[in-house]
Amino acid sequence: MTTRPSTETGSMDPSTDTPVSTEQAGRFARSSVTGAKGRHVSVENLDAYYGEQHAVKSFTIEYEPNKVTAMIGPSGSGKSTMVRCINRMHEEIPGARVTGKITIDGEDLYHPSVDVTAVRHAAGMVFQKPNPFPTMSIYDNVAAGPRLTGMKGGNLKERVEKSLRGAALWDEVKDRLNQPGIGLSGGQQQRLCIARTLAVEPEVILMDEPCSALDPIATLRIEELIDELKQRYTIVIVTHNMQQAARVADSTAFMLDGELIEVGPTERIFTKPNDERTEQYVSGKFG
Ligand SMILES: Nc1ncnc2c1ncn2[C@@H]1O[C@H](COP(=O)(O)OP(=O)(O)OP(=O)(O)O)[C@@H](O)[C@H]1O
Ligand SMILES: [Mg+2]
């Protein structure tokens, strides 16, 4: 996982830390945060490698708009790699490569004419460990992406408030916006990171084990938030927590050794999976 916090907003290019220009983002830009609908993400025959290591194998899936899809599977099964391919972060790793096709509402994310920074803007990422920009205030953490990208439409204060409200954090921080982001609790910091992601108006929200560093109360808060966010976004969440998948996800995808074993409505995956390996995994027999 990256060590630079600035990469995790989806607003900057992790390879160079350069801001995403409005024109670059234009290809995938949403018209507005409010009222916007989630986008359809389609993955077709995706293969991802680290040198010789074949980490994701012929992966095909549809992530439905306004739905939450959980990615489950044992450690090393390729979940994080898969999710990182959606915002084109995988290819930043030396020796890594990807083949296949990923589209957002039909737009090919890997088309040669697409600027990679626009893709990272469109597919916002929230990682395991909350990582606010350490020297910045709560306000500046959220304002940083829009400021750097020169986003227009609505003034910055309104955008910050809307993002913090969207991340269900506003009421807790509205009287301390100038205090450091790292002064918040872990769960609040994770919601701050979600607000930071929302501020740059992504199309899709990718979450890689967003609650694994949080206590049960903070986890519940994030789960409630995910449920709200799906009204507006397409959400993919990697989780090791079966109960969490059962609580938040409309669909669940089970990965094993780089392959998608099966995907379907969460309830069916947990009660009547088609594949014996899924049954063994969800019932705790391995992994
Ligand atoms: N930077 C890397 N360089 C080389 N191989 C890697 C790298 N990152 C992951 N891999 C390998 O790719 C495979 C898939 O890893 P990935 O991190 O996607 O699994 P995961 O399902 O997210 O696991 P976990 O549940 O432990 O997070 C593993 O075999 C892993 O060792
Ligand atoms: Mg992982």
Ligand 1 contact, 45 CB (< 6 A): no
141 or 121, higher pLDDT: 141
Query: pLDDT (tens digit, 9 = 90+) per residue, 126-152?
Result: 999 999 999 999 999 999 989 987 777
CA of 56 to the centre of ligand 2 (A): 12
- Nearest 5 degrees, angle CA 67-CA 73-CA 78? 90
CB 38 within 8 A of CB 67: yes
Query: pLDDT (tens digit, 9 = 90+) per residue, 36-77?
Result: 688 999 999 999 999 999 999 999 999 999 999 999 999 999
Ligand nearest to the CA of 75: 1
Task: Kindly report whether the global pTM for this prediction surpasses the value 0.85.
Answer: yes
Distance CA 85, CA 103 (A): 11
> Is pLDDT of 228 > 70?
yes
Ligand 1 contact, 77 CB (< 6 A): yes
Ligand 1 atom nearest 80 alpha carbon: 22
Ligand 1 contact, 1 CB (< 6 A): no
Ligand 1 contact, 80 CB (< 6 A): yes
Ligand 1 contact, 93 CB (< 6 A): yes
| Lowest mean pLDDT segment, chosen from 26-40, 191-205, 213-227 | 26-40
CA of 76 to the centre of ligand 1 (A): 5
> Is pLDDT of 11 > 70?
no
**pLDDT tier at 91 (50, 70, 90 boundaries)?**
very high
175 or 146, higher pLDDT: 175
Distance CA 70, CA 55 (A): 19
Ligand 1 contact, 50 CB (< 6 A): yes
CA of 78 to the centre of ligand 2 (A): 7
Query: pLDDT (tens digit, 9 = 90+) per residue, 251-276?
Result: 999 999 999 999 999 999 999 999 99
Sheet of strand 107-108: strand arrangement? 53-63, 41-50, 96-104, 107-108
CB 250 within 8 A of CB 221: no
- Nearest 5 degrees, angle CA 50-CA 263-CA 53? 10
HEC readout, the chain:
CCCCHHHHHCCEECCCCEECCHHHHHCCCCCCCCCCCCCCEEEEEEEEEECCEEEEEEEEEEECCCCEEEEECCCCCCHHHHHHHHCCCHHHCCCEEEEEEEEECCEECCCCCCCHHHHHHHEEEECCCCCCCCCCEHHHHHHHHHHHHCCCCCCHHHHHHHHHHHCCCHHHHCCCCCCEHHHCCHHHHHHHHHHHHHHCCCCEEEEECCCCCCCHHHHHHHHHHHHHHCCCCEEEEECCCHHHHHHHCCEEEEEECCEEEEEEEHHHHHHCCCCHHHHHHHCCCCC
- Percentage above 70 pLDDT, the chain: 86
215 or 180, higher pLDDT: 180
